[in-house]
């Protein structure tokens, strides 16, 4: 029992995602220049930065879509940059990703989209899959949309379907790529609530990359500010809000300076 308790403490203290000194260049142009970041289990971390700061590249390293030139990415205690093939696929099953434009398969219905990861990787019957799909669509407040095609949904609804698909296998981590970009203020608000609700109901670790400062301060437990491949400021929102770091101050002034 004491061993289990000790292990539980180790797990709680261990970051869910631990990025160590990450470097990445494309065609000789450095994009990440020594990024280090620790994201604790069950928290929502927003990686905030402008266009070209390296946010998407950092996220693609976390999910193993890109290999770094140098550095390590530990996810739930496993160093994933050295994994390939089946091992990498197994590790990816701990994660779900919500893409900027949802990236739903437009040839499939909403129900088939959400069911897709289960049909690929689980032994559930079609009836069990249908129940799980309904359940996860309920988590994101969507009802009776299983038979619709993605083209019949609004942008916000598509993002919700994208989240339902990402969480259908109960992942430990959900990654959001620019979830509020291009959305109107009301839809942005509803997507923010969706992220908060998903974390509250499922206890997942959330990583959000965004340049939406208002949304970031609404949903984040922890904010890291990325500027041209380097994290220039990080901490809880209250700390970042008062940052004197010049790039952070300038970036945040575009929002807080006006409100």
Partner 1 sequence: MAEAQPSQEPSQVAAFGAWLATPIIAIGELALFFFQSIAAIFRPPYRVGSLFAQLDFMAFGSLFVVGLTGLFTGMVLALQTIYAFGLFNAQSLVGATVELSLARELAPIFTSIVVVARVGSAVATELGTMRVTEQIDALETMAVDPYNYLVVPRVVAAAVATPLLTMLFNAVGLFGAYCVSVFLRDMAPGTFLNRLSALVEMKDLTDGLGKSAVIGFVVIMISAYRGYKASGGARGVGIATTQAVVGGLIAIFAIDYVYTAITLSSTASRGGGLGG
Residues found near partner 1 in the complex (CB under 8 A): 63, 65, 89-90, 92-93, 95-97, 99-101, 103-106, 116-117, 120-121, 165
CB of 53 to partner 1, least distance (A): 19
Report the C-alpha gap between 207 and 176 in whole angstroms. 6
Enter the tokens of residue 165. 């698909």
Rg of the chain in Å (alpha carbons): 19
> Smallest distance, Å, CB 106 to partner 1?
8
Between 23 and 116, CB nearer to partner 1: 116
Nearer to partner 1, 99 or 149 (CB): 99
Secondary structure (3-state) at 7: helix
Residue 241: CB minimum distance to partner 1, A: 32
By beta-carbon proximity to partner 1, the closer residue of 36 and 93 is 93
Nearer of residues 58 and 232 to partner 1, judged by Cβ = 58
Residues 234 and 58 sit within 8 Å (Cβ to Cβ): no
Q: At its nearest, how many Å lie between partner 1 and the CB of residue 229?
A: 21
Q: Is 177 left (phi over 0), alpha (psi -120 to 50) or beta?
A: beta
Which residue, among 22, 42, 40, 17, has the nearest Cα to 32 in the 3D structure?
22
The CA distance from 102 to 212, in Å, is: 17
Minimum distance of partner 1 from residue 12's CB (angstroms) = 26
Sign of CA dihedral 34, 25, 216, 96: negative
Are the CB atoms for 53 and 31 separated by under 8 Å? no
Which CB, 13 or 120, lies closer to partner 1?
Answer: 120
116 versus 228: smaller Cβ distance to partner 1: 116
Closer to partner 1 by CB, 14 or 92: give it. 92
247 sits in the region (left: phi over 0; alpha: psi -120 to 50; else beta) called alpha
Q: Which residue in this structure is represented by tokens 């996810």?
A: 75
In sequence order, what are the residues at sequence separation of 6 or more whose Cβ sits closer than 8 angstroms to the Cβ of residue 66?
A: 24, 57, 60
Q: Is 123 exposed, middle or buried (0-12, 13-18, 19+ CB in 10 A)?
A: exposed
Least Å from the CB of residue 9 to partner 1? 30
Minimal distance, residue 11 CB to partner 1, in Å:
23
């Amino acid at each position: 029992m004491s061993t289990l308790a000790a292990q539980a403490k180790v797990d709680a203290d261990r970051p869910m995602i631990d990025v160590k000194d990450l470097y990445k260049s494309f065609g000789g142009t450095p994009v990440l220049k020594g990024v280090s970041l620790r994201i604790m289990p069950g928290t929502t971390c927003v990686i905030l930065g402008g266009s070209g700061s390296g946010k998407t590249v950092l996220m693609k390293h976390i999910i193993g879509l890109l290999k770094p030139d140098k550095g390590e990415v530990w996810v739930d205690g496993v160093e994933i940059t050295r994994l390939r093939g089946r091992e990498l696929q197994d590790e990816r099953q701990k994660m779900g990703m919500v893409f900027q434009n949802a990236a739903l398969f437009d040839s499939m219905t909403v129900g088939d989209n959400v069911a897709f990861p289960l049909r690929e990787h689980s032994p559930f019957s079609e009836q069990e899959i249908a129940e799980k799909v309904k359940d996860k669509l309920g988590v994101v407040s969507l009802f009776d949309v299983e038979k619709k095609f993605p083209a019949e949904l609004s942008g916000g609804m598509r993002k919700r379907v994208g989240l339902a698909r990402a969480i259908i296998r109960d992942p430990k981590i959900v990654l959001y790529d620019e979830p509020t970009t291009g959305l109107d203020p009301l839809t942005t608000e509803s997507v923010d609530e969706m992220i908060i609700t998903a974390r509250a109901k499922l206890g997942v670790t959330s990583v959000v990359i965004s340049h939406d400062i208002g949304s970031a301060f609404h949903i984040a437990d922890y904010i890291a500010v990325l500027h041209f491949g380097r994290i220039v400021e990080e901490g809880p929102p209250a700390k970042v809000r008062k940052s004197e770091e010049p790039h952070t101050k300038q970036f945040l002034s575009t929002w807080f300076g006006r409100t």
